[in-house]
Amino acid sequence: MIVIRDPLRTHDLPKGGIVTVGNFDGVHLGHQKMLRDVAGRADALGVPSVVVTFDPHPLKVLRPEEAPRMIQTLRQREEAIEACGIGALLIVPFTRDFSLTPAETFVRELLLRRLGAREVHVGERFTFGHQKGGNLALLTRVGAEGGMAVVGISDVTDGEARISSTRIRQAIGAGDVALAASLLGRPYAMDGFVAKGDRMGRKIGFPTINLKPENELLPCDGVYLSTLYLPSFERTFGCVTNIGRRPTVYEDYATTVESYVLDFSSDVYGEKIRIAFLGRLRDEMVFPSMLELTSQIRKDVEATRLYFLRNPVP
């Protein structure tokens, strides 16, 4: 997939393609259906498949206090879009000046003049442009004037409700990583680097890998079934991950993300890793003593080991 990070400043753009526009945070099952439809339609016609997205999220610029925590890093979003078969990703830098662009100007300048889009596929709820002045009706009207067809895509549901980035954020924030995975079509994953900790886990017999996360969104405090991918080993390991402040050991400690990796003891400080969350084992708890904490950790590890015996890591 070709990635163009400032398409408004270059003329070397894929022309005459099938295009979709949106934030695509999470690239959830609803997004995936639209992206695969766009890729399939483009392949059938022998033209480029193009995604136009924005970074940062518009609310981070316009109303930072209301901006959502993003489900994915930009790099994760790129990977997920590419996995849907898209040929080109255009990342428009969202600035305050850009936010003043009228919706009709955006359609005429980028979609029609610069991209020469053959078709544009967007969700039926899609809004865009200055003060959200653009919608499916405007896009259809202006597109018709320029010979561009517009396809409105209906919501995708899971049988209970519409699949949305907001719903996924709520699930992750509540620790319901299983629901998040069902809406995303894959486990929720956090990327980051292995950081040095205080070695408390090693002292009690359960050495951990501490993640310094790049993602903005953390599951709520608790203990999770998870996997950890190490590029240097080219392998994914089963692990149990604790998110929290370790209240049995410290008072008012900073939130940490630490994983005990099954059958692993190598030094990987500074390495880039990915932790994927499969399920929630329990809440974070305060124990009367270190002995009882250690006993519970042992139970968590055994439950995790049993899970991966039944569900081997790919």
In which band, very low, low, confident or very high, does the pLDDT at 174 lie, cut at 50, 70 and 90?
very high
CA distance 285 to 95: 43
Domains of the chain: 2-153 (3.40.50.620), 188-310 (2.40.30.30)
Q: Which of 210, 240, 245 is nearest to 300 (CA)?
A: 240
Rounded average pLDDT over 225-232 = 96
**Backbone dihedral angles phi then psi of residue 44, each to the nearest 5 degrees:** -65, -35
- Predicted pLDDT of residue 250: 55
CB atoms within 10 A of CB 234: 7
- Predicted pLDDT of residue 112: 97
Q: Residues 111, 105: contact at Cβ < 8 Å?
A: no
In which band, very low, low, confident or very high, does the pLDDT at 286 lie, cut at 50, 70 and 90?
confident
Alpha-carbon radius of gyration of the chain? 22
Using a pLDDT cut of 90, give the percent of the chain over it.
Answer: 84
- Predicted pLDDT of residue 207: 86
Q: pTM of the predicted model, to two decimals?
A: 0.94
Helix axes 177-184, 165-173, angle to 10 degrees: 160
CA distance 296 to 171: 26
**Backbone dihedral angles phi then psi of residue 9, each to the nearest 5 degrees:** -110, 10
Task: Check whether 246 has a pLDDT greater than 90.
Answer: no
Task: Check whether 298 has a pLDDT greater than 60.
Answer: yes
